[in-house]
Structure 1
Amino acid sequence: MKKWLKWSFMLLCISVLLIPLAACGKEDVTKIRIGEVTRSLFYAPQYVAIEKGFFKEEGLDVTLTTTAGGDKTMTALLSDSIDIALVGSETSIYVQAQGANDPVINFAQLTQTDGTFLVAREDIQDFTWDMVKKSTFLGQRKGGMPQMAGEYTLKKHDIDPHADLELIQNIDFANIAPAFSSGTGEFVQLFEPTASVFEKEGIGHIVASFGEESGHLPYTAYMTKDSFINENEETVEKFTRAIYKAQQWVDEHSAEETAKIITKYFDNTDLEILTMSIDRYKSQGSFATDPILEKEEWENLQNIMDEAGELPARVDYETLVNTSIAEKVIKE
């Protein structure tokens, strides 16, 4: 009887010690809801951050949702359905133009170039941009960053996208690749890995990069409401630190190593294509190696939007970009 009481007392003591520790562990974990504008190989560092446990190291439990489109992503953020959005920085400018009381702030950049490639139906060995003139060009959605970067590049090469070719823009993003595959268009603007898949299958041939042509810009960035940063600065800092770890990891490791880690996010794409696509993005500097959104990139973004006739009004860099958290993380 005494032995039983002794063991009962010991178990009670252990329980008393463990309960606070368990409670403390739960309190230290912060849930964060991310909304990505699309599922894209272009966002490889984000998936690396999840799979390598960089968010968990920071005490963050992230839930990733694909919100399918800039408008839907912004609606989800403004309605508090998500905490942080991964989307093109132009969307924060559109929200600002509507007179938002709680501005959407860009606090960490993920990609720093356009992610699309010009794919030709024919195998053109010595491509020049004037070959696009008088062709049927299957472009991206009007007002979206891919289309604006595409138009900017065409104009850079003295091609009027609305006069010198037949520009098709009335096809949904998800149906652009199938439309080209089924015979629509002589040229198409595509993201990876679709561009490489088409090349491998002989459907089309990559002849140029819009990312290389349009220069550095905040193509996709993490953003949230100004109020969220003010109320959760430590959480945003932890989030940014996790992303920075992933950016550095991707930069320091091979394309194949990255591909192997994120393959679960692209079930229908084989490892060879994933590796080839990641290598192509890395070689042209599409993945930002740190989360700081530079002022020069912000201005280039607005110049491209202005050239496309989609810029509501110029917005000062300091109004919608906060680099203080990213700078702090990098200096650590």
Structure 2
Amino acid sequence: MVAVLAMAAALILLATACGPKKAEEAVKVRIGEVTRSLFYAPQYAAISKGFFKEEGLDIELTTTPGGDKTMTALLSGGIDVALVGSETSIYVQQQGSGDPVINFAQVTQTDGTFLVARKPLNGGGKFDWASLKGSTFLGQRKGGMPQMAGEFTLKKYNINPQKDLNLIQNVDFANIPTAFASGTGEYVQLFEPQATIFEKQGKGYVVASFGVESGRLPYTAFMTKKSYIDKNGATIQKFANAMQKGQNWVQASSADDITAAISSYFPDTDKDILKGSVQRYKDQGSFATDGIIDEQEWNNLQNVMEAAGELKTRADYKTLVNNQFAEKAKQSVK
């Protein structure tokens, strides 16, 4: 009887060993994005095309409007990873955080706003920035990256935003398009797809790009607390791999294909408008081709912040940027 029982136990163990292995449970990662914007097309593509799932990650995406709310959610543990402007990590450091927020994968590498006027350019020529002087300009929130990139550009063309313009900055981000459409301002600083929507409706016309004018900088990046990276390095590497797949796919795909992949995230926006907006961002190189934040981009970011009077002291590149995950992803993901 003992021999029979031993034989049965051996057969059970053998069957278990030879049977199908249970799939590893996906690791959940909670992302908080600062806004819902097609400027973040590589992120939506990476989710919709299944690249995060391929890496064994289960993504929970929420929108936490505003950099302050996004950073609060990250610091309090409400989210694991934030998709927000890199300047927010510098603000946290300036406040003396003992657990620094680390930028580990860049998503956009230029400003994403455009200068929209009530009238189109005469003859389709190049916009004369000097024509802004004396006008009423509906700008972005003070201290945010869009406003700082906007002011940096204006100063490049010898325009003092506070003295040469009637500058309006007290309108909430979500209400800026409505304010312009209702008659406030002669010029406005807008993201896509709102800029293209206004052109289609004849309410405004894109006359210049702040992204082109302000140059390359880590405008939006994935970041997390150093303590999270220390405990979850393998997860961060998988995350960087998935995003590199998304970035590769966006670079290789047409505006039509990208629109098809991300349109579910913008159910209320016409697909032709999404397509035009995606093409505009592709044409000016706004989507980063990899997650690496180079030092020149980091320094340009701080130049923009200094010009806006929002930088107390310059932040050390190596302290707040960790490229090891993005570099490995770029080498391994094809």
TM-score tier after normalising by the smaller chain length? over 0.9
Deviation per CA, 1:295-316, whole angstroms, max 9, x where unpaired?
Answer: 0000000000000000121011
Structure 2 residue aligned with 1:162: 162
Please report how far the alpha carbon of residue 14 of structure 1 lies from its aligned counterpart in structure 2 after TM superposition: 12
Aligned partners of 2:266, 2:331: CA distance in 1, in Å? 34
Structure 2 residue aligned with 1:287: 287
Structure 1 residue aligned with 2:68: 71
Note the aligned Cα RMSD (angstroms).
1.7
User: Which ranges in structure 1 are unaligned for 5 or more consecutive residues?
Assistant: 1-11
Matched, 1:258 2:258: yes
Structure 1 residue aligned with 2:300: 300
Given that 1:154 and 1:161 are in contact with CA atoms closer than 8 Å, whether structure 2 keeps it comes out as yes
Please report how far the alpha carbon of residue 178 of structure 1 lies from its aligned counterpart in structure 2 after TM superposition: 0.3
User: Which ranges in structure 2 are unaligned for 5 or more consecutive residues?
Assistant: 1-11
Q: Which amino acid aligns with 2:278?
A: I
Please report how far the alpha carbon of residue 268 of structure 1 lies from its aligned counterpart in structure 2 after TM superposition: 1.3
Matches within 5 A, 1:313-324: 313-324=313-324
Go from structure 1 to structure 2 and tell me whether the alpha carbon gap of 1:17 and 1:114 turns closer, same or farther (over 3 Å shift).
same
Matches within 5 A, 1:103-142: 103-125=100-122, 126=125, 127-142=127-142
Deviation per CA, 1:99-136, whole angstroms, max 9, x where unpaired?
Answer: 10000000000000000000001122242101111000
Structure 2 residue aligned with 1:148: 148
Structure 2 residue aligned with 1:3: none
Matched, 1:46 2:28: no
Please report how far the alpha carbon of residue 13 of structure 1 lies from its aligned counterpart in structure 2 after TM superposition: 9.3
Aligned partners of 2:17, 2:263: CA distance in 1, in Å? 42
Matches within 5 A, 1:225-236: 225-236=225-236
Aligned residues: 319
Please report how far the alpha carbon of residue 269 of structure 1 lies from its aligned counterpart in structure 2 after TM superposition: 1.1
Q: Which amino acid aligns with 1:114?
A: D
Identity of aligned residues (%): 64
Given that 1:94 and 1:312 are in contact with CA atoms closer than 8 Å, whether structure 2 keeps it comes out as no
Structure 1 residue aligned with 2:193: 193
Secondary structure of residue in 2 paired with 1:290 = coil
Secondary structure of residue in 2 paired with 1:25 = coil
Deviation >4 Å, runs of 4+: 12-20
Q: Which amino acid aligns with 2:41?
A: A
Aligned partners of 1:81, 1:14: CA distance in 2, in Å? 45
